Amino acid sequence: MTQQPFYITTAISYPNGRPHIGHAYEAIATDAIARFQRMMGRDVFFMTGTDVHGLKMAQTARDRDVTPGALANEMSSYFKEMDDVLNISYDRFIQTSEPDHHAASQAIWKALEANGDLYLDRYEGWYSVRDEAFYDEKELVEGDGGEKLSPQGTPVTWTAEESWFFRLSKYQEPLLKHYAANPDFIRPESRRNEVLRFVEGGLSDLSVSRTSFDWGVKVPDSEGHVMYVWLDALTNYLTGVGYPGDTAEFRKYWPADYHIIGKDIVRFHAVYWPAFLMSANIALPKQVFGHGFLLNRGEKMSKSLGNVVDPTEYADRFGVDQLRYFLLSEVTFGNDGSYSEEAIVTRCNADLANSFGNLAQRTLSFIAKNCEGKLAADGFEPTQDDLDLYHLVHRACAEFERHMGQLEISAAIESWMRAVFACNQYIDAQAPWTLRKTDPARMVAVLAVLYEAIGNVAIAIQPIIPAATAKLLDQMGVPDDARTYAVIRERAWYRALAASGFTLAPPSPIFPRLELPAGE
């Protein structure tokens, strides 16, 4: 059977500084969605990377007395290292200085030009170097000292230079019609409403080239012009799947199923990007999802406050899977969320060490010690308690599937935890340690029910904590090809494993308890 393609992307990170916990959150969430879709049998292509062009990178390179290319390579390596540390299963990590990306960006430029949507004029207006964004006067806010700031609170400067313009105003009505016909194009609903208000307020043509610096993709046949960094950056989503040209890869994966991005760049992805694609006669992505910000104890991250966190340090301190689990369970995907070291320790100890990890450890240890590691064949008559646990676990796994399919990641984890709690209630109520003396046959049946239930909940949660579940499922002897949601529904893997003569070795713990560093 041919697998249905699925294409998902993160926003590509702007690497004028090292990655922070917000970058890690987006990568982890997108990775969980990609892993889930692979488990659903989809042919997934997962794209991430860095956006290395623009004035901000040129200025940072000048300040550090290095070339922009050298800075791009150095800083991009930190983002790739972060992804690798966090077990991000990307298929391509792009850097926008790569030759195929320059070719793709110039190809889409020519497509916009061929459609009559580019013209040469003079740009005069407000520009935020930090945001790499142009702003109308009406969008600016006043700072504490009376200075003009962007809507994001970043400094703006008055810019005047010759520029190519894109006829964004031409696409106001086509965009509004697309939003109306595709209500899930922008999610969550709060982001959609923001975009609708912005577009309904009127669109001005967009400056899409710069002449004041040269670090970027050269505009075809226009000496001295480089592309506006956002036109170049957004095109990476096409580069990754073989654009330009009618390639098999492009036909297979485009349009993208999801662009997962931060809420501060929704306008670029939900207004500018679809307008560019309409002009180039390229299909639009299916959905743009703008997630919220991570707040350190409720405060925005700021170097001046000293609360910017290196995610690789957290991964080293608490564990990669523990960090992944905390961020995806604690924060409702789409909303802002808060984190602290205390919160990470508390949740991971409660859910992973005490509930799931302890459940698996005591069950598997009991089987290894009291049953010589042998699994009972599925030939016993289940009691109502057994059937209740089977049904609850299967229902929870089905709810996990449904929520993940809707990008309701924290709700999916809540469903999973209900299954874990039910397993713990079952083992406490059945008390196999007592049955060992009073009813050994019933003990064996209880352990068989628990073994299958633990295997199923471990299979289900793989997208969230992939390394820990792989270790547990390896210990349990669950074959690689049985670690899918379809196999949970079919209830086949346990019977096959028990019949194979598999012997369980004494297990090693999966989740050690976390401790806060001394003095915290």
- Is 90 part of any domain? yes
Q: Give tens-digit pLDDT for 178-224.
A: 999 999 999 999 999 999 999 999 999 999 999 988 999 999 999 99
Give exposure, 462-499, as e/b (b: 16+ Cβ within 10 Å).
Answer: bbbbbebbbbbbebbbbeeebbbbebbeeeebbeebbe
Residues 263 and 197 in one domain: yes
Residue range 39-50: mean pLDDT, rounded: 97
What confidence tier does 422 reach under pLDDT thresholds 50, 70, 90?
very high
- Is 316 part of any domain? no
| Residues 6+ positions from 478 with CB-CB distance below 8 Å | 455, 458, 459, 493, 497
- Is 334 part of any domain? no
Give exposure, 78-87, as e/b (b: 16+ Cβ within 10 Å).
Answer: bbbebbeebb
State how far the Cα of 269 lies from the Cα of 271, in Å rounded to an integer. Answer: 6
Q: Give tens-digit pLDDT for 116-162.
A: 999 999 888 888 878 878 788 888 998 888 889 998 888 998 888 89
| Residues 6+ positions from 169 with CB-CB distance below 8 Å | 202, 203, 204, 205
- Is 136 part of any domain? yes
Q: Give tens-digit pLDDT for 303-336.
A: 545 557 889 999 999 999 999 999 999 999 999 9
CB 296 within 8 A of CB 47: no
Give exposure, 440-460, as e/b (b: 16+ Cβ within 10 Å).
Answer: eebbbbbbbbbbbbbbbbbbb
- Is 33 part of any domain? yes
Size of the chain, expressed as the number of residues it contains? 520
State how far the Cα of 504 lies from the Cα of 111, in Å rounded to an integer. Answer: 61
Give me the pLDDT at residue 191, please. 97
- Is 72 part of any domain? yes
| Residues 6+ positions from 164 with CB-CB distance below 8 Å | 118, 119, 120, 121, 207, 208, 209, 219, 222, 225
Percent residues over pLDDT 70 in the chain: 97
Residues 31 and 142 in one domain: yes
What range defines the domain where residue 484 resides?
341-499
Q: Give tens-digit pLDDT for 7-30.
A: 999 999 999 889 999 999 999 999
Pairing of strands 43-50, 258-262: unpaired
Task: Supply the CATH number for residue 357's domain.
Answer: 1.10.730.10
State how far the Cα of 175 lies from the Cα of 108, in Å rounded to an integer. Answer: 19
Boundary (domain end) residue, out of 227, 262, 291 = 291
Sign of CA dihedral 222, 223, 228, 229: positive
423 by DSSP, 3-state: which? helix
Residues 131 and 197 in one domain: yes
Residues 346 and 247 in one domain: no
Give me the pLDDT at residue 1, please. 52
- Is 300 part of any domain? no
Residue range 23-41: mean pLDDT, rounded: 97
**Distance (Å) of CA 26 to CA 37, 88, 177, 205, 271:** 17, 11, 29, 31, 21
State how far the Cα of 255 lies from the Cα of 6, in Å rounded to an integer. Answer: 9
Q: Fill in the amino acid letter for 258.
A: Y
State how far the Cα of 478 lies from the Cα of 515, in Å rounded to an integer. Answer: 31
Give me the pLDDT at residue 305, please. 52
Residue range 264-291: mean pLDDT, rounded: 98
Task: Supply the CATH number for residue 112's domain.
Answer: 3.40.50.620
CB 359 within 8 A of CB 424: yes
Q: Give tens-digit pLDDT for 347-402.
A: 999 999 999 999 999 999 999 999 999 998 767 889 999 999 999 999 999 999 99
Q: What is the pTM of this model?
A: 0.93
Residues 261 and 361 in one domain: no
CB 342 within 8 A of CB 516: yes
**Distance (Å) of CA 194 to CA 186, 190, 191, 201:** 10, 6, 5, 11
Give me the pLDDT at residue 55, please. 85
Give me the pLDDT at residue 304, please. 47
State the angle between helix axes of 358-370 and 409-430 in degrees (0 to 180), rounded to the nearest 10: 40
Residue 170, CA atoms < 13 Å, CB-side half-sphere = 15
Residues 280 and 410 in one domain: no
Q: Kindly state the DSSP code that residue 481 receives in the 8-state scheme.
A: G
CB atoms within 10 A of CB 190: 14
Residues 240 and 181 in one domain: yes
First to last CA, the chain: 54
Give how many domains the chain has, as a whole number. Answer: 2
Residue range 471-487: mean pLDDT, rounded: 95
Residues 265 and 135 in one domain: yes
Residues 285 and 382 in one domain: no
- Is 508 part of any domain? no
List, as one string, the DSSP characters of 387-422: HHHHHHHHHHHHHHHHHHHTT-HHHHHHHHHHHHHH
Residues 350 and 263 in one domain: no
**What radius of gyration do the chain's Cα atoms show?**
26
State how far the Cα of 17 lies from the Cα of 186, in Å rounded to an integer. Answer: 29
Q: Give tens-digit pLDDT for 63-107.
A: 999 999 999 999 999 999 999 999 999 999 999 999 999 999 999
Boundary (domain end) residue, out of 253, 274, 291 = 291
Residues 214 and 345 in one domain: no
Residues 285 and 364 in one domain: no
| Residues 6+ positions from 455 with CB-CB distance below 8 Å | 473, 476, 478, 493, 494
State how far the Cα of 107 lies from the Cα of 101, in Å rounded to an integer. Answer: 10
Boundary (domain end) residue, out of 249, 264, 291 = 291
Res 298 pLDDT > 80: no
Q: Give tens-digit pLDDT for 439-456.
A: 999 999 999 999 999 999
Res 520 pLDDT > 60: no
